Structure 1
Amino acid sequence: ANLQFTGLPFFAPEMFMTVVLKNPLRTKQLQQGLAQLGEEGAIQVFKPDAGGNMLLGAVGQLQFEVVQHRLKTEYDCDVRLEGSQYTGARWITADTPAELR
């Protein structure tokens, strides 16, 4: 029997928090930490097009607490997580770019 592993499923986040770095001199470490944690699937990271603070998406509150703790202990980044105006995210696909409009 052939088994194929397709990877872990990604769930659409239901909660969002904005990341505020308490020490701006640690920006590089924050970016590295969020990239790593995002790759691990601990959290989903969204970068605003216009710059500004990163947005984190999660299914539950515990994910935010774990990420905040890991950023502090593994990357020496003390962050504050603030509520966000966003309430949902969805992946939209289409066969052609025109269908996305």
Structure 2
Amino acid sequence: MLRGKQKRYLRSQAHHMQPIFQIGKNGVSPELLQQVDDALEKRELFKVSLLQNTDEIAEDVAEIFEEELGAQVVQIIGRILVVYRPSSKEKNQRYSTEVNRI
């Protein structure tokens, strides 16, 4: 579990990012989960936005990501989630090395 300072650092890193995934009327599908899982392995940190036409609720999506993918949602602002999970590959560990130092 992340501590407050670690979450703050991740939020600051994600601040200028654009969402790379959008959840629309199809909701959270197994295909979307697989893509998010792959992206977490490569990037560790990114944003996901919920479109207006989705029935999903941000908190529910956060729960699914945390349970299914072992990710942590460090922030929810309206319909945008900031998702983080340390990469298992050392070459992709851009944020997790700093998070471990905090």
Q: State the TM-score, normalizing by the size of structure 2.
A: 0.35
Q: Which has the larger radius of gyration?
A: 1
The structure with the greater share of residues assigned to helix is: 2
**TM-score, normalised with respect to structure 1:** 0.35
